[in-house]
Amino acid sequence: MSPKHSLFDLNAEDAKQEWKKLAAEIRHHNKLYYQKDAPEISDADYDKLFRRLQELEKQFPDLQTPDSPTQQVGAAPLETFAKVKHKVPMLSLNNAFSEKDVRDFVERIQRYLGLSLEEEIEIFAEPKMDGLSFSARYVNGVLEHGATRGDGTIGEDITLNLATILPVNISKNSPHILEIRGEVYLTHDRFHKLNSEREEQGEPVFANPRNAAAGSLRQLDSEITKSRKLSYYIFGWGEVSEPLAGTHAEFLDRVIKLGNFQFNRNNFLLNRKTFKKFDNHIDQKSALDCAVFMIMDFYNNVYGQRSTLPYDIDGTVYKVNRLDWQERLGTVGRAPRWAIAHKFPAEQARTIIEAIDIQVGRTGSLTPVARLKPVNVGGVMVSNATLHNEDEIARKDVRVGDTVVVQRAGDVIPQVVEVDVSKRPSHSHAYTFPDHCPVCGSLAVREEGEVAKRCTGGLLCEAQLVERLKHFVSRNALNIDGLGEKQIEAFWKDGLIKDAVGIFHLHEKAGEIEQREGWGKKSLDNLLTAIEKAKDVQLEKFIFALGIRHIGEITAKLLARHYGSYHAWADAMHKLHEGNEAYGELDNIDGIGETVAHALADFFREPHNSHIVTSLGKLLRIRDAEAVASDSPVAGKTVVFTGTLVKLTRSEAKARAEALGAKVASSVSAKTDYVIAGDDAGSKLAKAKELGVRILNEDEWIAMISG
């Protein structure tokens, strides 16, 4: 063992040097873990670093300065960024990985808009920058606000930092309000310079340009941001006080001129006219074939040039050029229907499986995880990979000690692609999947049609309870800063919290927390403030936060919109019983089926759960679902579409009605306000007549929602 790894023979100077390196390394991992949700090392390895730092400080108490990672919780500085609400949400993109996915994307657009087979769809194609997105709000031509994407609805205020990158003043002829959106990135050149400077100064290097750009933009000191020499390209916009153009291409053109903004010159407008230059036969193709052909040609070109570009890209992006079509297509979940990201193939590397662990999820599913000898996959250190489930392990015959190919695609969790059987140690044996929960020991079973084995321990299983808590405080749920996975685990272990309600009683244990290792007055104050703030929560986030099986963000939103208020929702949930009225109403919400209804009924049947929901209902200020466009005549009304619609496709009609605040149901009942009957309407129309529900034809409906 080298003296650096032992406390013997360590003199104060050596200790100081080691402490410095270690502290910087831990800060780096804290950032990845707490702010980016992208740890590079396993918890066990992190703990090793942390313990070593504590050891050093014990031996040389002078090292224990207030800014030591042992004296702080998480990556506290970011808590001091103000929050900014995006008037127009910052969306993410769905991914395509193959030509088939691209074809599906174009076909879906055609179908949704009800286009004829010959009608051309112009596509605006762009490289997908691998950086982080920003939104910059100009009011009367002056940069007023700059923000990160955050969770898409609320971002961090980085105005001063963005002002070091973007123009502060733009043309006085700009619209009164103009929100520009784009990607901040670091060129390869700057990235290498930055890393060699950091190496010289003994600071940890950034794993890739994206991390470096993120770390540089989210700095409290804008001088640091400035020194990093970040670049940006604009690719879209948010709120704009007046329409500027009819297409994406024109819009970008105009906006770029207003602010002399940087944009990617490898953007292309794909239409028959521009493409004739490259392929004379394009006229003979259908609109669909033509679009797919052009897109694939663009993709292959950009992919081919990837290594020669001075910045990282991770794919290409395609957008419907016509803005009126974009508007009609709208969004589903958190991504627009009018755009898609076409990702480059995954990056791969070889390494060895050191162990296979089983993780228990919040709904009891047992997920096998391969613990890997850390390996660099396309710029990121990977030490864990998911093995998905029992069948996957058996299919690939993955064993401890095997040499495997792991891959990383986009933001997806690293996966084991294949085993190199030629390298298999002779003594290895096939992996046996446990039939009991490794945490609580309860039987683990596989329900019919399910791939996952589940722990049957339910509320007896600590792992499930802890995972539920982690979910409850996570970013897209209650988003409690300073209460991450590590703190939840530690608090749980020491009995400070045993369920979600306990979080809101933590202030009663302030004295105890302040005494804990790694905590101090400031971090405790921050935590209690964050908890207090989290009490103010939207209904949809609250429902999602409960971590009920099958209730993701989209379903939670549907439920919130349907019931409107916490009380209406909770009352209905407590009454759920298969076959009764409350159950029927739930099952009848468009987009909600048996599985979800069942899951909710199961959840609320458990007294512990319904008790927690009630207690939280009293403790929190749960805000009613935002009435979308409450001034519309159909807001809050329940409508049913039946028969064939001519002017709108069915999905379009549904999406528009929802955007105006209506609830779209799948069957007619006494609660239905309007039935919109197209051609050949059958039993639903008859039922509406029988119940005296108001019936509209398609034109009457359109007149109603346009008026």
Could you give the residue numbers annotated as active site? 128
Q: For ligand IVH, give the closer residue by CB, 211 or 642.
A: 211
Query: What is the SS3 assignment for 443?
Result: strand
Under the criterion CB under 6 A, does residue 74 sit at the interface with ligand IVH?
Answer: no
Query: What is the SS3 assignment for 703?
Result: helix
Contact 599, 606 (CB under 8 A): no
Q: Interface mask (CB under 6 A) for ligand IVH, residues 15-54, using x and -?
A: ----------------------------------------
Bridge-based pairing state of the strands 536-538 and 415-419: unpaired
Q: For ligand IVH, give the closer residue by CB, 137 or 149.
A: 149
Under the criterion CB under 6 A, does residue 376 sit at the interface with ligand IVH?
Answer: no
**N- to C-terminal Cα distance for the chain?**
80
Binding ligand IVH (rule: CB under 6 A), the pick from 39, 69, 238, 336 is: 336
Q: For ligand IVH, give the closer residue by CB, 133 or 164.
A: 133
- Stretch in the footprint of ligand IVH (CB under 6 A) among 11-19, 88-96, 102-110, 240-248: 88-96
Binding ligand IVH (rule: CB under 6 A), the pick from 129, 180, 194, 576 is: 129
Under the criterion CB under 6 A, does residue 214 sit at the interface with ligand IVH?
Answer: no
CB of 37 to ligand IVH, least distance (A): 15
CA dihedral 393, 460, 439, 351 (to 10 degrees): 40
- Stretch in the footprint of ligand IVH (CB under 6 A) among 121-129, 529-537, 556-564, 697-705: 121-129
C-alpha 227/C-alpha 704 separation (Å) is: 56
Contact 434, 402 (CB under 8 A): no
Q: Residue written as tokens 């002056």? A: 142
Q: For ligand IVH, give the closer residue by CB, 183 or 658.
A: 183
Single-letter code of the amino acid located at 451: V
CB of 422 to ligand IVH, least distance (A): 38
Under the criterion CB under 6 A, does residue 126 sit at the interface with ligand IVH?
Answer: yes
Query: What is the SS3 assignment for 524?
Result: helix
Rounded to the nearest 5 degrees, what angle is found at the Cα of 44, between the Cα atoms of 40 and 45? 55
Q: For ligand IVH, give the closer residue by CB, 129 or 539.
A: 129
What kind and span of H or E run contains 380? strand 380-386
Under the criterion CB under 6 A, does residue 133 sit at the interface with ligand IVH?
Answer: yes
CB of 134 to ligand IVH, least distance (A): 9
C-alpha 551/C-alpha 601 separation (Å) is: 12
- Stretch in the footprint of ligand IVH (CB under 6 A) among 196-204, 334-342, 572-580, 594-602: 334-342
Q: For ligand IVH, give the closer residue by CB, 121 or 469.
A: 121
- Contacts of 631-636 with C-beta under 8 Å, sequence gap 24+, read 632/660, 632/661, 632/662, 632/705, 633/704, 633/705, 633/707, 634/660, 634/661, 634/662, 634/673, 634/674, 634/704, 634/705, 635/660, 635/661, 635/662, 636/564, 636/661, 636/662, 636/663
Binding ligand IVH (rule: CB under 6 A), the pick from 341, 537, 572, 596 is: 341
C-alpha 313/C-alpha 544 separation (Å) is: 33
CB of 232 to ligand IVH, least distance (A): 11
- By CB under 6 A, the count of residues binding ligand IVH is 15
Under the criterion CB under 6 A, does residue 218 sit at the interface with ligand IVH?
Answer: no
Under the criterion CB under 6 A, does residue 92 sit at the interface with ligand IVH?
Answer: yes
Q: Could you tell me the two tokens for 149?
A: 């994407």
CB of 408 to ligand IVH, least distance (A): 15
CB of 270 to ligand IVH, least distance (A): 14
Under the criterion CB under 6 A, does residue 652 sit at the interface with ligand IVH?
Answer: no
Under the criterion CB under 6 A, does residue 162 sit at the interface with ligand IVH?
Answer: no
User: What Å distances lie between residue 529 and 67, 80, 267, 534, CA to CA?
Assistant: 21, 12, 45, 9
C-alpha 538/C-alpha 544 separation (Å) is: 10
CA dihedral 123, 124, 127, 131 (to 10 degrees): -120
Under the criterion CB under 6 A, does residue 91 sit at the interface with ligand IVH?
Answer: yes
Contact 619, 654 (CB under 8 A): no
Under the criterion CB under 6 A, does residue 317 sit at the interface with ligand IVH?
Answer: yes
Q: For ligand IVH, give the closer residue by CB, 137 or 399.
A: 137
H-helix segments, 306-346:
323-329
Under the criterion CB under 6 A, does residue 612 sit at the interface with ligand IVH?
Answer: no
Under the criterion CB under 6 A, does residue 461 sit at the interface with ligand IVH?
Answer: no
- Stretch in the footprint of ligand IVH (CB under 6 A) among 128-136, 201-209, 451-459, 648-656: 128-136
Under the criterion CB under 6 A, does residue 93 sit at the interface with ligand IVH?
Answer: yes
Under the criterion CB under 6 A, does residue 676 sit at the interface with ligand IVH?
Answer: no
Q: For ligand IVH, give the closer residue by CB, 313 or 358.
A: 313
Q: For ligand IVH, give the closer residue by CB, 91 or 677.
A: 91
> Residue 490: exposed, middle, or buried by beta-carbon count in 10 A (0-12, 13-18, 19+)?
middle
Bridge-based pairing state of the strands 415-419 and 403-408: antiparallel
353: closest CA among 421, 399, 415, 407? 399
Q: Could you tell me the two tokens for 505?
A: 């009683």
CB of 220 to ligand IVH, least distance (A): 22
**Which residues, 6+ apart, have CB-to-CB distance to 532 below 8 Å?**
none
Binding ligand IVH (rule: CB under 6 A), the pick from 15, 41, 217, 339 is: 339
Q: Which single residue brings its beta carbon nearest to ligand IVH?
A: 133
* CB half-sphere exposure, 537, CA atoms < 13 A: 28
Q: Interface mask (CB under 6 A) for ligand IVH, residues 234-253, using x and -?
A: -xx-----------------
Binding ligand IVH (rule: CB under 6 A), the pick from 40, 156, 179, 183 is: 183
Residues that bind ligand IVH (CB under 6 A): 91-93, 126, 128-129, 133, 149, 183, 235-236, 317, 336, 339, 341
